[in-house]
Structure 1
Amino acid sequence: MGDEPLAIDIDSAPAETRRVRCRLCGRPLTGPDSRRTGLGPACDAKLHPAGPDIRTRRHEVEQDTLPGV
């Protein structure tokens, strides 16, 4: 026994043995992106919804012709 710390290095354990759970619902996370963010795909979509599609809001506006054209 020396002055070595008793903490276990989490990164040295294989990914299959470490259980990472979703911070919102508590389900086990399996995907690398989900494990990195700590949120499952469904919970991530709830917290970060996709922005509105601006292409659906575009419309043509009638304009008068410019003078001198």
Structure 2
Amino acid sequence: MGDEPLAIEIDSAPDDEAARRVWCRLCGRPLTGDRSRRTGLGPACDAKLHPPGPDIRTRRHEVEQDTLPGV
């Protein structure tokens, strides 16, 4: 593994899931959402590391062409 910090759990009580505190691996803020707690990244940090793919509509462009004969 590299120097990447792991999600840190503090005050973990084995029988009480809500009492555990999990911190973001990138910015260190406390995580509250279930998905964020599982991944170890907050929504903003996750978006930085995994940006959405390009929209296919932005790759389209107009092509100049001659008019069809007989039109």
Query: TM-score of the superposition, structure 2-length normalised?
Result: 0.63
For residue 40 of structure 1, the aligned residue among 28, 39, 42 is 42
Letter in 2 for 1:46: K
2:58 counterpart of 1:59: no
Corresponding residue number in structure 2 for 1:13: 15
Q: Which has the larger radius of gyration?
A: 1
Structure 2: tracts of 5 or more residues without a match: 1-11, 67-71
Distance (whole Å) between structure 2 residues aligned to residue 17 and residue 11 of structure 1:
7
What's the Cα RMSD here? Answer: 2.4
Q: As a proportion of its length, which structure holds more strand?
A: 2
Query: TM-score of the superposition, structure 1-length normalised?
Result: 0.65
Q: Percent identity?
A: 78
Structure 1: tracts of 5 or more residues without a match: 1-9, 65-69
Corresponding residue number in structure 2 for 1:27: 29
Shift of residue 61 of structure 1?
A: 3.3
Q: How many residue pairs end up in the alignment?
A: 56
